[in-house]
């Protein structure tokens, strides 16, 4: 694929800070290379409704520091069927599009691969705060979400220390505990619970009691939603430890806010590289960050392989929490 081509971009699944920066990079790189850029509104559902929107340089001005996605996003049941994929492929070709950039998580990547299998050129950019995409060191939005969790944890620690209380803070991560692990390490949590590593309530209670014996005025437990739910865990700990345990569920606040400088730069680099891949005639690849380099690797690897937490980080967090 050479210059002068028409490239569409969509954001799909859960939003993440930095998606707008990636869209901006896709649009401006496409135009710089002599092509035309189009935004697809509301993800794959919008694609099935032919919701294409021409995007010029000015259309993506002022969005670099905005959270969420100005294109909108959704989860499409229609697209999850073979008929839906065929319809989407037909619509893309009928609209004279030459390539599609999909920004999202593993479900969005599966959709991009299905479009490739249907005969249309598509590439993926990882946009998910869970950071559960294999093959890349980080996904767009992960760093911003970490900063949000760390800030909230610091505020909770202030009141926990004042009242000498134990708090359970629940963060996102159904299958991957990256947010909990990295946030717990960065925020100095006393205990981190993730779905990848088994734990016992007795060990958690022992950690709480050990801190109390050495005069610590607070205990912070950060738990990934896939490991336990905060309210149930707090009740069990209260019963076992013999004192009231408070809870905080951060929920969707983790998704919002202006993207960090790191997420903006990473999103910009990935967006530009995605266009380069399509312009060069390559399809079915995902963008990744590996040791500070932007790389392209097979799209299927991103969702068929499991993202692995680093065991040494988990051990480090346990040691530093003593």
**Positions marked active-site:** 130
Size of the chain, expressed as the number of residues it contains: 322
Q: What is the DSSP letter of 287?
A: E
Cβ neighbours around 134 below 10 Å, total: 17
DSSP 88-129: HHHHHHHTT--EEEEEESHHHHHHHHHHHHTT--EEEEEB-T
Distance of CA 272 to the CA centre of its chain: 19
Contact present, 223 and 113 (Cβ < 8 Å) = no
Count of helix runs (H) and strand runs (E) in the chain? 11, 11
Beta bridge partners of 8: 38, 100
Classify residue 306 by burial, with Cβ atoms within 10 Å: 0-12, 13-18, 19+: exposed
Reference 68, options 6, 14, 126; nearest CA is 14
First to last CA, the chain: 56
């Amino acid at each position: 694929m050479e210059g002068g081509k028409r490239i569409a971009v969509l954001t799909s699944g859960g939003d993440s800070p930095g998606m707008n920066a990636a869209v901006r990079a896709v649009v401006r790189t496409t135009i710089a290379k002599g092509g035309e850029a189009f935004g697809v509104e509301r993800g794959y559902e919008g694609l099935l409704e032919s919701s294409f929107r021409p995007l010029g340089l000015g259309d993506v001005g002022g969005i670099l520091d905005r959270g969420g996605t100005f294109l909108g996003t959704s989860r499409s049941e229609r697209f999850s069927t073979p008929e839906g994929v065929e319809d989407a492929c037909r619509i893309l070709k009928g609209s004279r599009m030459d390539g599609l950039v999909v920004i999202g998580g593993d479900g969005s990547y599966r959709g991009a691969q299905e479009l490739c299998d249907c005969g249309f050129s598509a590439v993926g950019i990882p946009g998910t705060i869970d950071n559960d995409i294999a093959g890349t060191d980080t996904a767009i939005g992960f760093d911003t979400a970490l900063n949000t969790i760390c800030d909230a944890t610091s505020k909770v620690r202030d009141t926990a220390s004042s009242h000498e209380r134990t708090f359970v803070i629940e963060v996102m991560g159904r299958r991957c505990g990256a947010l909990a692990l990295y946030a717990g390490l960065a925020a100095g949590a006393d205990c981190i619970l993730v779905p990848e590593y088994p734990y016992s309530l007795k060990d958690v209670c022992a950690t709480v009691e050990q801190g109390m014996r050495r005069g610590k005025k607070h205990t912070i437990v950060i738990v990934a939603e896939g490991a336990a739910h905060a309210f149930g865990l707090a009740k069990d700990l209260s019963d076992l430890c013999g004192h009231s345990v408070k809870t905080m569920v951060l929920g969707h606040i983790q998704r919002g806010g202006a993207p960090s400088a790191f997420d903006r730069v990473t999103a910009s680099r990935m967006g530009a590289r995605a266009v380069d891949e399509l312009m060069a005639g390559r399809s079915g690849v995902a963008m990744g960050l590996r040791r500070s380099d932007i790389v392209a690797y097979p799209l299927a690897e991103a969702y068929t392989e499991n993202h692995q937490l680093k065991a040494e980080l988990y051990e480090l967090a346990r040691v530093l929490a003593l």
